[in-house]
């Protein structure tokens, strides 16, 4: 099996809110896959669908080869999941919750849980309610890893945690990747993602705005600054394989984040009268993220409006949430 | 040796590892025949993707800096020091070129730049601890 997660056309509508508007995603086995997106972009909804906690309004997905809407239990046996606010039984002690959870999994769970707990230096006989936020997160991670899952899903696991705990989470992720397991992480810590991820998908307004391998992304996206002698000069349109992710102008300068910017595009811009200077440098992931999530919001919405009518006619949309978009 | 990775300085992470290993060999922190940490160890230690480390090691092998010791790991090749000194030289030349380009771009005349370079070089020459000497004192 080469893909750990696949999703085609996933849509999720809540009354008055379209959380996902057609997500297509492929997470190859053995990769560290990062989901980036603003708060409310739909990351958690997507993860909840993948883990079988929610059924999508439309679209299909598979996780470890199973369909979450039919075989949620099979999937849960194979994955580990840490949410941003792990739900743990407050009144249990750290060792008790391990013992309790172990009863749902095959042998070996408790030993591995014990090893992680010692490694993370969490006091075993303390009650969950008396743990710090970082310790709770570590317990949740230890539980999620103890059955050696094929796929580890982390939903903003490190938000609000100190650098030590964040580092330990990253080390655990890398450790999973080294042993060929798959990790899906949703995060706002772009610098962390930049270090550990093989693949990145940027989700914006319920759609995948960009999905690529980290290496390819870094090689192909550049930030281009153009100096002009007059702020009103119109620049030639960049066509072909070139995609302008965002464009800003400030006085006599334009700045663009461009995918696939090459020498010929540079020459095309330089040839335009009034263009004084064109400089490009590789964009950081943060710049790409900002460009994708702020950039051409209007254009993206418009595109979507056209694409949508067709999908609605398939009749998969519940009447509750209908209408809000087409009106 | 200690690596330091900066994920947002514009240099790809694998390239940072390549450079740091190369520089470490050039200044003989890594000796010929010494074994490098495994991909697994280094990736966990730096908390970076193992493929990134693997890619860096691969490139270092292609460059003729590292060679596999069958079944054990990667070691520094004989003759790597000279190769690494060359690479270091070209990396440094490249960053000087960048600084000079910036200066020219900013409108400085070549003579002004020469003056600055001379002045700074005279001031610094002999007063800068070389990398190998700092390594010795700090270890």
At A116, which CATH number?
Answer: 3.40.50.300
pLDDT reported for residue A295: 53
Option in B8, B47, B105 nearest A196 (CB): B47
B94 CA: distance to closest CA in chain A (Å): 15
Domain boundary, last residue among A205, A232, A250: A205
Q: Based on the domain organization, do A200 and A240 belong to the same domain?
A: no
The ipTM (two decimal places) reads 0.74
- Considering the domain boundaries, does residue A255 fall inside one? yes
**Residue A64: what pLDDT?**
92
The predicted structure's pLDDT at residue A298 = 42
- Candidates A321, A69, A320; CA nearest to A206 is A321
Residue A59 lies in a domain: yes
A183/A235 same-domain check = no
pLDDT classification of B5: cutoffs 50, 70, 90: confident
Confidence of residue A160 (pLDDT cuts 50, 70, 90): confident
Give residues 259 to 298 of A whose Cβ lies within 8 Å of B: 277, 281-282, 284-286
Residues A149 and A244 in one domain: no
Q: Closest CB to B7: pick one of A191, A215, A282.
A: A191
Higher model confidence: residue A316 or residue B53? Answer: B53
Q: Which helix (H) or strand (E) holds B94?
A: helix B80-105
Q: Are residue A78 and residue A174 in the same domain, yes or no?
A: yes
* A313 within a domain of the structure (yes/no): no
Q: Is residue A325 part of a domain?
A: no
* A242 and A113 together in one domain: no
How far apart are the C-alpha atoms of A47 and A253, rounded to whole Å?
Answer: 41
Q: Kindly state whether residue A216 falls inside one of the protein's structural domains.
A: no
Q: Taking the model in full, what pTM does it have?
A: 0.81
- Please tell me whether residues A165 and A102 are part of one structural domain: yes
CB atoms under 10 Å from CB of B105, counted, come to 10
Which pLDDT belongs to residue A28? 92
Query: For residue A74, is it left (φ>0), alpha (ψ between -120 and 50) or beta?
Result: alpha
CATH of the domain at A232: 3.30.70
Residue A163 CA to residue A236 CA, distance in Å, equals: 46
Position A304 scores a pLDDT of 41
A167: chain B residues, CB-CB within 8 Å: 47
Least confident of A4-13, A160-169, B54-63, B122-131: B122-131
May I ask the CATH class of domain B13-80?
A: mainly alpha
The answer on A92 and A44 residing in a single domain is yes
DSSP string, A226-265: EEESSTTPPPPPP-TT-EEEEEEEETTEEEEEEES--HHH
Predicted pLDDT at A202: 93
Q: Check whether residue A166 and residue A260 sit in a common domain.
A: no
Domain assignments of chain B as residue spans, ordered by start:
13-80
> Same domain for A250 and A117?
no
- Chain A from 143 to 172: CB within 8 A of any B CB: 167, 170-171
Residue A132 resides in a domain: yes
Same domain, A169 and A263: no
**Total number of domains constituting chain A:** 2
Residue at A65 is within a domain = yes
A170 shares its domain with A198: yes
Confidence band for A313, pLDDT divided at 50, 70 and 90? very low
With contact defined as beta carbons under 8 Å apart, do A62 and A75 qualify?
Answer: no
Domain enclosing residue A264, as ranges: 221-295
Q: What is the average pLDDT across A112-137?
A: 91
Q: Is residue A37 part of a domain?
A: yes
Task: Tell me, yes or no, whether A193 and A245 share the same domain.
Answer: no
Q: Which residues pair with A18 in a beta bridge?
A: A13
């Amino acid at each position: 099996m080469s893909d750990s997660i696949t999703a085609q056309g996933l849509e999720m509508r809540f009354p008055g809110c379209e959380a996902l508007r057609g997500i297509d995603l492929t997470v190859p086995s053995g990769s560290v896959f990062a989901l980036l997106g603003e708060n409310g972009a739909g990351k958690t909804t997507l993860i909840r669908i993948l883990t079988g906690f929610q059924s999508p309004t439309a679209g299909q997905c598979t996780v470890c080869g199973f369909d979450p809407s039919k075989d949620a239990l099979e999937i849960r046996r194979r994955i580990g999941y840490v949410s941003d606010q792990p739900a743990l039984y407050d009144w249990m002690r750290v060792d008790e919750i391990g013992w309790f959870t172990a009863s749902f999994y095959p042998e070996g769970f408790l030993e591995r849980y014990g090893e992680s707990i010692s490694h993370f230096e969490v006091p075993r006989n303390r009650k969950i309610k008396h743990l710090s936020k970082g310790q709770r997160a570590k317990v949740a991670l230890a539980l999620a890893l103890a059955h050696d899952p094929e796929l580890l899903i982390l939903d903003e696991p490190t938000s609000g945690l100190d650098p030590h705990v964040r580092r330990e989470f990253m080390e655990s992720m890398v450790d999973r990747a080294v042993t060929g397991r798959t990790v899906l992480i949703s995060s706002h810590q772009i610098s962390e993602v930049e270090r550990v991820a093989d693949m990145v998908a940027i989700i914006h307004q319920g759609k995948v705005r960009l999905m690529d391998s980290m290496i390819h992304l870094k090689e192909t996206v550049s930030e281009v600054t153009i100096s002009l002698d007059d702020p009103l000069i119109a620049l030639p349109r960049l066509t072909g394989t070139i995609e302008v992710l965002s464009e800003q102008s400030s006085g006599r300068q334009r700045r663009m984040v461009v995918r696939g910017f090459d020498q010929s595009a540079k020459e095309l811009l330089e040839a335009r009268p009034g263009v004084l200077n064109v400089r490009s440098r590789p964009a950081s992931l943060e710049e790409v993220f900002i460009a994708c999530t702020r950039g051409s919001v209007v254009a993206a919405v418009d595109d979507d409006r056209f694409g949508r009518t067709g999908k609605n006619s398939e009749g998969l949309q519940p009447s509750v949430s209908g209408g809000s978009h087409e009106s | 040796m200690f690596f330091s990775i900066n994920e947002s300085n514009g240099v790809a992470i694998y390239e940072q590892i390549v450079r740091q290993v190369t520089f470490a060999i050039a200044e003989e922190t890594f000796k010929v025949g010494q074994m490098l940490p495994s991909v697994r160890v280094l990736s966990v230690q730096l908390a970076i993707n193992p493929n990134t480390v693997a890619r860096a090691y691969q490139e270092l092998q292609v460059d003729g800096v590292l060679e596999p010791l069958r079944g054990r790991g990667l070691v520094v090749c004989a003759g790597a020091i000279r190769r690494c000194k060359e690479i270091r030289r070209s990396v440094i030349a490249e960053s000087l070129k960048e600084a000079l380009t910036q200066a020219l771009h900013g409108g400085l005349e070549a003579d002004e730049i020469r003056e600055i370079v001379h002045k700074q070089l005279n001031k610094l020459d002999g007063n800068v601890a070389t990398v190998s000497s700092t390594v010795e004192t700090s270890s």
